[in-house]
Amino acid sequence: MLNVGMILYPGFQVLGLSMSATFEVANQFAGKDVYGITLLSEHGGMVKTSAGFCVETEAFDDRRFDTLMVLGDNVVRPASAGLVDYLVESSSMTRRVCSICTGSAALAQAGLLDNRRVTTHWEHAPDLQATYPSLRVDSDRIFINDGPIWTAAGMSACLDLSLALVENDLGHELARKVSRHLVVYHRRAGGQSQFSVMNDLDPKTDRIQAALTFARQHLKTDLNVESLAFVANMSARQFSRVFQSETGESPAKAIERLRVESARLMMETANHSIDTVSTETGFGDQERMRRAFIRITGQPPQAFRRSLRSS
């Protein structure tokens, strides 16, 4: 059995506990108890969550765990001496050590992240980098695996990390079944941005939202203003004006961003050729995609793919 120890402390972000459902469902589909889950804390007993209720934990001891996970917090606070000592002592006897959100600060305090690529919640990434200069903090990643260390962004990224761990242990197909059972999109790739174009645009009306949803589902087609205006049941002129007012950018610019986001995801999740990616995401040719990538990401798609392979 792969024993998973989830490390809690007073005020930890309660969403992190949702990872236990991933391991629970993985056991169901595996047909046996692959994972065992233990909630740990420095002193054991009841530990209060960020939501105000308490959960029962077991105290740190000399038990060995396959995976240790330090959950996050809504704020960054120094880890206790007991937690730091436990991480230092346990890390050499544990296959992998993980952090969610601000839990990365505890790993850094214990010296486990020195000279590694890591991520954390985007709000706390600058402080983590400034406090620990030897780290290579990437604030635009859902999760990062660097050797035995796995770090994840904040909040819902804990589910992406737990699904990635299950896939690493039990394979892609079982992880896909788990995500489907949990009614979540099959885990976002670690390299996927913490930011979503759809969330960033945040249209105010259903008509503009419907047009954007249609666009994301039909990127391969010719998404001109007239076709989007038809979906929104508006004239092309009115649609362009309202779209700009609600999202802060033109329809053409928004579609380009959606296509770049989709192209990045294709390259992160499968080994498609650049030509295939450009066709499937509606760019039509590699040069058009290259120019869009440089405008939005600051690098061509070939450089983005090399960075994926190197990481």
Question: pLDDT digits over 143-189, tens only?
Answer: 999 999 999 998 889 999 999 999 999 998 999 899 999 988 555 55
Per-residue pLDDT at 311: 53
Whether the per-residue pLDDT at 192 is higher than 60: the answer is no
CA dist 140 and 117 (Å) reads 12
Domains of the chain: 2-181 (3.40.50.880), 197-310 (1.10.10.60)
Residue 291 Cα distances to 54, 249, 280, 305, angstroms = 52, 18, 17, 15
Length of the chain: 311
Q: What's the rounded mean pLDDT across residues 279-284?
A: 92
CB 283 within 8 A of CB 272: no
Do the strands 117-118 and 35-41 form a parallel or antiparallel pair, or are they unpaired? unpaired
Per-residue pLDDT at 193: 52
Do the strands 149-152 and 143-146 form a parallel or antiparallel pair, or are they unpaired? antiparallel
Per-residue pLDDT at 264: 87
User: For residue 274, what are the contacts with CB-CB under 8 A and spacing of at least 6?
Assistant: 286, 289, 301, 302, 305
CB 61 within 8 A of CB 28: no
Q: What percent of the chain has pLDDT over 90?
A: 73
Tens-place pLDDT, residues 70-113:
999 999 989 999 999 999 999 999 999 999 999 999 999 999 99
Q: What's the rounded mean pLDDT across residues 196-216?
A: 83
Nearest residue to 262 via CA among 212, 209, 196, 175: 196
Per-residue pLDDT at 91: 94
Per-residue pLDDT at 3: 98
Average pLDDT in the chain: 91
pLDDT band at 196 (very low <50, low <70, confident <90, very high): low
HSE of 269, CA atoms in CB hemisphere, 13 A: 15
Per-residue pLDDT at 232: 92
Per-residue pLDDT at 145: 93
Whether the per-residue pLDDT at 49 is higher than 90: the answer is yes
List, as one string, the DSSP characters of 155-212: TTHHHHHHHHHHHHHH-HHHHHHHHHHTTS-S---TTS-SS-HHHHH--SSHHHHHHH
Per-residue pLDDT at 185: 59
Whether the per-residue pLDDT at 220 is higher than 60: the answer is yes
**β partners of residue 73:** 12
